[in-house]
Amino acid sequence: MKDLEFEQRRTLSRAQAADQLEALAAALRRGGQAELALGPGTLTVRIPDELRTEIEVELEDGEIDLEIEFSWSTEPSERRPGDGD
């Protein structure tokens, strides 16, 4: 069972989509605790210094589907500055 799942589907103008991506990019740049506006509320998440990414592009039935996914552990990192890989 998932601890939390939120999915939102809606139609946005190109400018609205860019605004949403810019807000996410700013949160990623700042790191730490980030507040993301999701629908009627706000979700606060911890964004670490390193995260995994996945970009997927599909063309099917005359429609392009672009997915950008970021993931990271919710556990505190055991790495300390200066630790080797």
Residue 1: pLDDT over 60: no
pLDDT at residue 84 in the model: 53
Task: Give per-residue pLDDT as tens, 27-84.
Answer: 899 988 888 877 778 888 899 999 999 999 999 999 999 999 999 998 876 655 555 5
- Distance in angstroms (rounded) separating the CA atoms of residues 72 and 85: 17
Q: Are the CB atoms for 37 and 45 separated by under 8 Å?
A: no
Q: Where residue 20 falls among pLDDT bands split at 50, 70, 90? A: confident
Is the whole-model pTM more than 0.75? no
Q: SS3 of 20, please? A: helix
pLDDT at residue 57 in the model: 98
pLDDT at residue 23 in the model: 87
* Dmax (CA) of the chain: 50
